[in-house]
A and B are shown apart, each in its own frame.
Chain A
């Protein structure tokens, strides 16, 4: 069974501060995806990382995939209240495991103005 652990579970920061969310596993994934979910809505894909060591930037968000493709991090620079939400990482299994996603437990981020 593939498991993904996210930390921290909850993060409360002031506007302008930086934050990092971690996603760790003992399993290898063919890709690692990050989603953001607003209350009452489904998750919305932010980014997919595929190659070990890969770094992707999306405005103030930086995503990194570990060299061994077992872990990932999401870093937000100069957080804004609009960044508030539930951030979910999800791993796509290697081909033999099928196409299903394994989700982490989520990190709830609150950015106070």
Chain B
């Protein structure tokens, strides 16, 4: 997963706190995707962003979740007032143009635990 950097790798939050997950895409990639994975399940799409634009947020919960990809700096997935059900692994992926033959490059994920 070299190239897509996610931090932190592990994050523990108490119920009601905020969680901020960061993703720096591969150099030259301008498309960022966030996915959520519950234990023993596949990945579920959350949001697709390009620089300064949210392209598709159809997988984002309507409340408490937001994402941004500013002109400078990493993409941020923000979860406000976390609840235990938010505990999951959150993966970021990046691509250049259409993924097509090249696929996506995933980061190593952030494992969020809400206690």
Contact = CB atoms under 8 A, between A and B. Distances in A.
A33 B31 CA distance: 18
B101 A31 contact: yes
B41 interface: yes
A103 B42 contact: yes
Contacts of A48: 99-103
Contacts of B44: 103
Nearest to A10: B40
Given A42-B109, A44-B1, A98 B99 contact: no
B5 to A, nearest CB: 11
Contacts, number: 82
B104 interface: yes
Interface residues of B, number: 32
Contacts of A105: 41-42
Interface string A71-113: 0000000000000000010101001001111111110100000
Contacts of A45: 103-105
Interface in B75-115: 91, 93, 95, 98-109, 111
Contacts of A104: 42
Contacts of A98: 48, 55-56
B12 interface: no
Contacts of B93: 42, 101
A102 B45 contact: yes
A99 B104 CA distance: 10
A99 B55 CA distance: 9
27 contacts: A31-B99, A31-B100, A31-B101, A33-B99, A40-B108, A40-B109, A42-B107, A43-B91, A48-B100, A50-B101, A88-B42, A95-B98, A99-B31, A99-B55, A99-B95, A99-B98, A99-B99, A100-B58, A101-B45, A101-B99, A101-B104, A103-B42, A103-B43, A103-B45, A105-B41, A106-B40, A106-B42
Interface of A: 6, 30-31, 33, 35, 40-45, 48, 50, 88, 90, 92, 95, 98-106, 108
